[in-house]
């Protein structure tokens, strides 16, 4: 697929709002590169009642360096949309794709749908992004809830905030590894109350850290987290959206290994590349199967 620069309506305004002002991370040896994290979810945070066929809450984060985002990622996504739909005025949205609704009604036949998924997987394979994700198995969590929170009193009981902690911890590691000069975090808006909860939780994490990551390390994150809706058509969020479900599904179904999107995203999942605890971009909770899925030897103190 040829990547062409396409003028997206309101693109400049959307980028300006989605990417806050540059905020240095405070490392005198840091580069001047700014890394962006775009976060979207799959599933919901309910644990009293939930869909037993999809008993997970997952967050997917796409990480990309800012200049690459502007010069490569946004134009590539626009070119993909033009190739399939003739314009850029739609949002890449996994639920609509799966239901073949709205603009995606053109994917009604199995052959057409397969061709689209294959083309989308190819897009992800070619994009210079890193992926981090957190998936919580609600069944296992509910069964061990008391034990889990006795062991770590800092762990949020809200599953979305818990998954956000796991994703932010991994983003901190990426920033440290890349010696980033600045960062931005953009999450999909879920509503005024939910956004306020996450904004407050994010601020507390920067001040207090978590059980395993100090406040000093969390200080690498930008002061503010930004929120955008699907209607804003922020390319980074559009990429995180269709990647979250196949990642989450792979943690509960081995046959999901055959998914085109999973096979495309797996090589993009961040790995630190050493034997220290953690260092795997796929966090599964409460069972540490993320390392196994990624082919990393399991350690008792890891993940």
pLDDT score of 296: 80
d(CA 171, CA 176): 9
Above 80 in pLDDT, residue 272?
yes
pLDDT score of 111: 97
Helix, strand, coil % over all residues of the chain, rounded to 5 = 50, 15, 35
pLDDT, tens only, 108-154: 999 999 999 999 999 999 999 999 999 999 999 999 999 999 999 88
Above 80 in pLDDT, residue 4?
no
Question: What's the pLDDT band for 299 if we cut at 50, 70, 90?
Answer: low
CB of 183 within 8 A of CB of 221? yes
Above 80 in pLDDT, residue 247?
yes
d(CA 66, CA 82): 23
pLDDT score of 7: 38
Kindly report the backbone phi and psi dihedral angles of residue 176, in degrees, each rounded to the nearest multiple of 5, phi listed first. -65, -45
Kindly report the backbone phi and psi dihedral angles of residue 48, in degrees, each rounded to the nearest multiple of 5, phi listed first. -70, -45
Tell me which of 63 and 52 has the higher pLDDT: 63
Question: What's the pLDDT band for 273 if we cut at 50, 70, 90?
Answer: confident
Helix/strand/coil for 281 = coil
Above 90 in pLDDT, residue 30?
no
The pair of structure tokens assigned to 76 is 């590539």
Place of tokens 């599964």: 284
Above 90 in pLDDT, residue 279?
no
Instruction: Say how many Å lie between the first and final Cα of the chain, rounded.
Output: 37
Above 60 in pLDDT, residue 28?
no
**pTM for this model (two decimals):** 0.88
pLDDT score of 92: 95
Q: Dihedral, CA atoms, 81, 10, 231, 236, nearest 10 degrees?
A: 60
d(CA 96, CA 92): 8
Tell me which of 181 and 171 has the higher pLDDT: 171
pLDDT, tens only, 9-19: 333 333 444 45
The pair of structure tokens assigned to 95 is 């639920």
pLDDT, tens only, 55-113: 999 999 999 999 999 999 999 999 999 999 999 999 999 999 999 999 999 999 999 99
pLDDT, tens only, 174-216: 999 999 989 999 999 999 999 999 999 999 999 999 988 999 9
pLDDT score of 298: 60
Domain spans of the chain? Answer: 22-291
Q: State the DSSP string of 164-220.
A: HHHHHHHHHHHHHHHT-SEEEEEEE---HHHHHHHHHHHHHHHHH--SSS-HHHHTT
- As a whole number, mean pLDDT of residues 246-263 equals 95
d(CA 108, CA 114): 10
């Amino acid at each position: 697929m040829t990547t062409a620069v396409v003028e997206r309506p309101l693109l400049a305004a959307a980028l300006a709002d989605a990417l806050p002002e540059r905020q240095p991370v405070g490392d005198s040896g840091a580069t001047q590169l700014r890394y962006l994290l775009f976060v979207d979810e799959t599933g919901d945070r309910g644990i009293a009642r939930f869909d037993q066929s999809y008993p997970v809450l997952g967050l997917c984060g796409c990480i990309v360096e800012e200049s690459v985002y502007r010069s490569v990622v946004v134009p590539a996504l626009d070119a993909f949309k033009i190739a399939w739909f003739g314009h850029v005025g739609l949002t890449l949205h996994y639920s609509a794709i799966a239901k073949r609704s709205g603009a995606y009604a053109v994917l009604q036949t199995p052959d057409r749908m397969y061709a689209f998924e294959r083309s989308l997987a190819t897009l992800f394979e070619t994009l210079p992004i890193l992926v981090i994700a957190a998936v919580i198995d609600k069944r296992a969590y509910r069964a061990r809830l008391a034990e889990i929170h006795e062991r770590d009193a800092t762990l949020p009981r809200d599953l979305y905030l818990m998954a956000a902690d796991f994703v932010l911890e991994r983003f901190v590691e990426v920033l440290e590894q890349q010696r980033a000069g600045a960062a931005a975090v953009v999450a999909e808006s879920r509503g005024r109350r939910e956004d306020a909860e996450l904004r407050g939780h994010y601020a507390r994490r920067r001040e207090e850290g978590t059980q395993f990551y100090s406040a000093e390390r969390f200080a690498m994150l930008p002061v503010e987290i930004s929120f955008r809706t699907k209607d804003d058509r922020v390319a980074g969020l559009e990429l995180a959206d269709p990647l979250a479900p196949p990642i989450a599904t792979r943690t509960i179904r081995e046959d999901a290994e055959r998914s085109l999107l999973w096979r495309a995203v797996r090589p993009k999942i961040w790995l630190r590349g050493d034997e220290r605890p953690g260092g795997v971009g796929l966090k599964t909770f409460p069972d540490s199967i993320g390392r196994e899925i990624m082919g990393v030897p399991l350690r008792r103190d890891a993940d």
